[in-house]
Amino acid sequence: MNRCSRLMALGGLSALTLLIGCLDSIVRELGPENDPQITNTASSFEFKAEDMENVNDELIFNWVNSAPQAAFRHNSFIHHGYGIVIITDGAGVQVDSTLLELDLDAETQVGTPGNWTIRLILAAARGRVDFTLTPKP
């Protein structure tokens, strides 16, 4: 193999390695392939999505919470990237801002009952999201 052939082979191998490395950098939004499920009732707000692969998205939901506080059940598994939930109460005051976790029971700060806003931010997230909010009198 002459020098020119070796350089071409090395260049081709380098280009292939670069291409394989960049395949993971495709930015995706949450879509039907993630089977997003939303339950939004007076008794709870639940969000689930699975099979996320490098998902970057922001979702905003409104939930009517009749109580001044909410129990926050985490059951997410994000093994790459992260997910953050930011919650504001009926007066627009932030009552929670937390990373999604696996097997965690928490609660928001005390706030004002009414129309609460739930903001979910996903950044390079791989795995699944699963969280539930329930009114806590």
Domain extents in the chain: 27-136
Among residues 133, 120, 134, the alpha carbon closest in space to that of 49 is found at 120
Per-residue pLDDT reduced to its tens digit, 68-117: 999 999 999 999 999 999 999 999 999 999 999 999 999 999 999 999 99
Q: Does residue 3 or residue 114 have the better pLDDT?
A: 114
Instruction: Tell me: pLDDT of 17 over 60.
Output: no
The per-residue pLDDT for 27 is: 85
Tokens standing for 112? Answer: 């004002």
Q: Which runs of consecutive H residues, i.e. helices, occur in 23-129?
A: none
The third-level CATH classification (topology) of the domain covering 27-136 is Jelly Rolls (2.60.120)
| Mean pLDDT, rounded, for 8-24 | 53
Q: Is the pTM of this model over 0.85?
A: no
